[in-house]
Structure 1
Amino acid sequence: MPSIIPFKATRATPAKAPHLISRTYQDYDMDELEAQLKYNPYSFLQILNPGYKFSHDISGNERFNLVRNRFLEFKEERHLITEDTSCFYIYENVDPHHSYTGIIAGANTLDYENNHIKRHENTLHHKEVLFKDYLNTVGFNAEPVLLTYKDDDSLNEIIANIKTTTPDYHFMTTDHNCHQVWKVADEHTIDTIQNIFSQKKNLYIADGHHRTASSHLLAQEMGSKHDSYNYFMSFLIAESQLNIYEFNRLVKDLNGLSKEQFLMQLDQHFRIQNRGLEIYKPSKKHHFSMYLDGEFYSLYLRKDGHEIKTPLDDLDTQMLYDLVLKPLLGIGDLRTDSRIDYSYGKSDLLLMKDRIDRGKFEVGFGLFPATVDQMKSIADADLTMPPKSTYIRPKLPSGLIIYEFENE
């Protein structure tokens, strides 16, 4: 059954933490990234983009080695400090709409190999190898994998009790997020938490499939060099605290069909209603929104419109692919086809409408978000969702708590 461990974290000093932590690198647009690199010398982005210091774009092993150098500089300058003892960390993030609390710990790569850490997405081998090589060179993991578990009253009570004490970190960031961290060093509490997780049958990857697969590759490559390579940093959070948003689909053309031909073919599987300028957002699964030629449509799956044999067949992103994207619009590989793009649901349908109105796409589809139960059912059946089926929050900051590999 799943095993988790405390670890000797490298972490931001409390005074520097509000300035040091960053979002995922890909989450920044070019202007925001430039501003952070230019005006914030403490940002973790300075480590992730070491070429900025030299006004030079670098990649591959050269970049990996410079990331390592910049990381060591941050440690030497005491922007980052390393624990003397192994700990768990309770992390809470409160934004204007939600509150998330979970446990930062090391998760076992063997549990991933033995399918006790279950996946619901496919990974690309070249990306696994690339990030494995990155981890091996830089020697640390700064972005935890998001793992979820069935809500547990015993864990909730432990976490609630810890949160009554003074946090080790308590600060606000400019995006109006409040961050709090409690270090858990008490051996009895650590043993209790480990025992609770050891009795669970499975954990589920909510976000971070490539990071998990890469950590597993690294563990295999390093063998018995040091036990720290057999674990990867994770943020363990109860299912009830996950927020899952949908990814909308946008397609550049109707694959040679006229609007009328396309609607007639859709009618074989869906009840279609023209909503005009009314922005229609699906309110339950198997209902879809469509924006075409300046108008919104609701598409309701007909009762005999699709045979459901597996948990994957019941997933709206798979259903849309099987009934519309592939047979009608000629979309083959959802990862590589240049005719399709995605926008996650937090951006809402207005963004989809705007991109179509500006002529960048011909048609767009809005979906109802998948549920945790659907995600787990698909993982339990050893199936995988289509790409861009879920956008899951929370997204943890990089640089606050770091898992560093040991070599001695």
Structure 2
Amino acid sequence: YVADGHHRLAAAASYARVRRKEVFKEEGEYEDFLGVIFPKSDLNIIDYNRVIQDESELSEEALMNAIEKQFNITQMKEQTYHPSRPHHIGMRYKGSWYNLSLKDNQVNEKDPVARLDTAILQDLILEPIFHIKNPRTDKRIDFIGGIKGIEALNRRTDEDMDIAFALCPTTMDELIQVADANRLMPPKSTWFEPKLRSGLFIHRF
């Protein structure tokens, strides 16, 4: 399973195909790429959270009413809040944290992608309410790895963003089920630990 680096892997494969045509043989250094293998027992997946700029122009009441169509909303007393189970999403809005609990029959639980919390947030909140259709390119959204803690969401919503969303980590089983179905994970669904040290290698072909 390619847990990270699939774009680099695709680029390496594309380069190999070009070189095969140039030298007319399937051998050479271009057939190899640098990689590392971890057993899943040594990998940890932690949450990958979102902060957004709210340009919906909805009032607080209108926003809550829109979210309440698919979620039960509970205001939390804590200064920080992180959901502890799937289909519960933390939301920081105007200095307060809320638990958004998905109502029954809102997603297809048999679909390995649609039932992911990252997909639920995107499909039921970010796109229909805030009109963020492509989280990869939309400048109104930013992603914060759970390694930075929930306090990072508080800071960003106090500084330059309006709303934060905290998610439960994707599980290893969920990741494998998506891959086995030949599907792709939603963008920024997983933050893997441990991470390799960064470095730069230059090699002349």
Kept in 2, the 8 Å contact 1:270–1:302? The answer is: yes
User: Which residue is equivalent to 2:120?
Assistant: 319
Measured in 1, the distance between the counterparts of 2:12 and 2:67 equals 43
User: Which residue is equivalent to 1:258?
Assistant: 59
2:188 to 375, 388, 391: 388
**1:306 equivalenced with 2:103 (yes/no):** no
2:12 to 215, 222, 230: 215
- Unpaired runs of 5+ in structure 1? 1-203
- Unpaired runs of 5+ in structure 2? none
Kept in 2, the 8 Å contact 1:246–1:391? The answer is: yes
Kept in 2, the 8 Å contact 1:251–1:364? The answer is: yes
SS of residue matched to 1:218? helix
Q: What TM-score do the two structures reach when normalised by structure 2?
A: 0.91
The residue identity in structure 1 corresponding to 2:13 is H
Measured in 2, the distance between the counterparts of 1:250 and 1:398 equals 26
Kept in 2, the 8 Å contact 1:282–1:367? The answer is: yes
Q: CA deviation at 1:304?
A: 2.4
Kept in 2, the 8 Å contact 1:249–1:364? The answer is: yes
Measured in 1, the distance between the counterparts of 2:32 and 2:202 equals 9
User: Which residue is equivalent to 2:129?
Assistant: 328
Summarize the alignment of residues 70-89 of structure 1 with structure 2, pairs less than 5 Å apart.
none
SS of residue matched to 2:54? coil
Deviations 1:237-292 (A, max 9, x none): 10111111221111101512111111111111111110144321111111111000
Richer in strand (by share): 1
2:170 to 364, 367, 370: 370
Kept in 1, the 8 Å contact 2:113–2:186? The answer is: no
Measured in 2, the distance between the counterparts of 1:340 and 1:207 equals 21
User: Which residue is equivalent to 2:147?
Assistant: 346
Summarize the alignment of residues 137-148 of structure 1 with structure 2, pairs less than 5 Å apart.
none
Kept in 2, the 8 Å contact 1:247–1:388? The answer is: yes
Kept in 1, the 8 Å contact 2:45–2:193? The answer is: yes
Deviations 1:214-234 (A, max 9, x none): 110111111127432212121
2:72 to 257, 267, 271: 271
The residue identity in structure 1 corresponding to 2:174 is Q
Kept in 2, the 8 Å contact 1:293–1:363? The answer is: yes
Higher relative contact order (CA 8 A, sep 6+): 2
SS of residue matched to 2:143? strand
The residue identity in structure 2 corresponding to 1:214 is A
SS of residue matched to 1:305? coil
The residue identity in structure 2 corresponding to 1:301 is L
**1:242 equivalenced with 2:39 (yes/no):** no
2:28 to 215, 227, 230: 227
**1:287 equivalenced with 2:88 (yes/no):** yes
Summarize the alignment of residues 187-206 of structure 1 with structure 2, pairs less than 5 Å apart.
204-206=1-3
Q: Which has the larger radius of gyration?
A: 1
Deviations 1:95-139 (A, max 9, x none): xxxxxxxxxxxxxxxxxxxxxxxxxxxxxxxxxxxxxxxxxxxxx
SS of residue matched to 2:18? helix
1:330/1:398 Cα in 2 relative to 1: closer, same or farther (>3 Å)? closer
Measured in 2, the distance between the counterparts of 1:278 and 1:353 equals 9
Q: CA deviation at 1:348?
A: 1.3
Identity within the alignment, %? 36
How many correspondences in the alignment? 201
SS of residue matched to 1:324? helix
